[in-house]
Amino acid sequence: MPLVTTKKMFQMAYKNGYAIGAFNVNNMEITQGIVDAIVEEQAPLILQISKGAREYAKMSYLRAIIDVAVKENPQIPICMHLDHGDTFELCRQCVDDGFTSVMIDASHQSFEDNVKLTKEVVKYAHAHGVVVEAELGQLGGIEEHVKGVEDVSAHLTDPNQVKEFVEKTGCDSLAVAIGTSHGAYKFKAAPKLAFDVVEKVSKLLPGYPLVMHGSSSVLQEFKDLINKYGGKMPDAMGVPEDAITRASKMAVCKVNIDTDLRMALTAKIRQVFAEKPGEFDPRKYLGPGREAIKKMVKHKLQILGCAGKAGECK
């Protein structure tokens, strides 16, 4: 089947209490690891492309890799999504390039300007059969070109603004700030996510899909490997997986995962270099990295509850 939008995915996720994993891709090995896990677990898939990924790999290469994944796995519904688009021009270009979902992130602007820009993107995207994710509230941390705020608790999404925002813009899903943060160094102590925000929004907008950004868990397994083999990530901390599962059973239908992918790949590459210092064949260290990504993604699909749900999301 061709690339799909997230519309059916989110309908089924909301109805049946799970979330779709949205995984960022930067090269062939990362994409292969993700897709191999998805196929084995028969889960729906959102492949995300960020500004940094486009600059690193070029859109033409990433699109070709994704096209192969779609062609070879017709039983899996796959969406190609623009992560953190920051201008109308970029979103328009991605719609024209064949993306089936785009995110316009104007969360750093005023409410009025956020509404104005989001509405403009929605009008163009919907005219081309593409769905739109927007953002209201601001996350903490920093990842690639996305800079967050220092005090996440002071920038949570206001549930009372959500209904007005969605009605004025017509966006199809909304990334909400509930205390998560971008990057590997999200928190100094175990976070307490604002599930009350999700509950209030779901009452005001029943059936409306929400999105969690900054949701990597910074898994201990990979943090330990990185530190064991010369890395320095002693204070890295992510979102607890039980919190992700809880959100997935509520109105959160999409959970973004990027940092965990990077850590899995990096941990295995470091391990190979440490155990085989003479190794210079990229296949011999990228291969184990790809396998680590596959194993990690399979685990995440269980946490999200979307394993085995590919068929109902077509």
Please identify which of the residues 36, 67, 83, 235 carries the catalytic annotation.
83
Q: 251-268: buried (b, 16+ CB within 10 Å) or exposed (e) per residue?
A: bbbbbbbbbbbbbbbbbb
Residue 222's nearest CA partner among 264, 172, 167 is: 264
286: Cβ–Cβ under 8 A, 6 or more apart, which residues?
29, 269
β-partners of residue 255 are: 21, 212
DSSP 48-91: EE-HHHHHHH-HHHHHHHHHHHHHH-TTS-EEEEEEEE-SHHHH
Q: Which residues pair with 131 in a beta bridge?
A: 101
Residue 83 annotated in active site:
yes
Which amino acid is located at 203 in the chain?
Answer: K
Pairing state between β 131-136 and 252-257: unpaired
Write the burial class of residue 120 (CB in 10 Å: 0-12 exposed, 13-18 middle, 19+ buried).
Answer: middle
What amino acid positions are annotated as catalytic residues? 83
